[in-house]
Amino acid sequence: MQIQIFAFTLVSFVILHYLCSMYFSDYRRHKGEQIRPSLLWEYDMQKFDFQKMRSVVVQRVIERGLPSDYYAMFSLYGIRGVRESVKELPYLNPKDMSFVCALLNLKKEDLRCYTRKQSRPQHWNS
C-alpha cells in the first residue's frame, strides 16, 4: 500500500513538473504582461518598488496569481531571481510549496518555509 502511494506521488510530481516547465517555458513571448494590482491591493501602486518588494510580489503571485501574473513575474525578475526569492519565503502552504518545487525544479529542503515548518514543534493534538 505504501509503495503504491509513493509511486502515485512520484508519477504525479513528474507529470506536474513536465506540465509546469512546458507551460511557463515561453514566458519571454509574453513581454507585455503586468502583475495585476489587485494582488497588491494594500500598497500604493504609484510608489510601489517592485525590486525592493520582490519577495512580497513573488509570494502573492504564487498564492493567487493567474498565468499572466506568472509571465509578468518571470519577465520582471527572471527565473533565477524568482528561484532565489522562493527559497527565502517565510511561509507557503503545502500545495503551493509542491507546485513551486515542480515549477522551479527545487527540493522542499531548499525552501526556508519547509525547514522552518520542520523545526517548529507540533502540539500533541494538531
pLDDT (tens digit per residue) in 35-69 = 999 999 999 999 999 999 999 999 999 999 998 89
Count of domains forming the chain? 1
Q: Is the pLDDT of residue 24 over 70?
A: no
Contact 61, 104 (CB under 8 A): no
Distance CA(98)–CA(36), nearest Å, equals 24
Within-domain flag for 125: no
The dihedral over CA atoms of 92, 24, 22, 105, expressed in degrees to the nearest 10, equals -40
Name the CA radius of gyration of the chain, rounded. Answer: 16
Within-domain flag for 89: yes
pTM of the predicted model, to two decimals?
A: 0.74
Provide the domain limits for residue 12.
Answer: 2-119
Within-domain flag for 78: yes
Within-domain flag for 126: no
Within-domain flag for 9: yes
For the chain, the average pLDDT equals 80
Within-domain flag for 124: no
Q: Is the pLDDT of residue 101 over 80?
A: yes
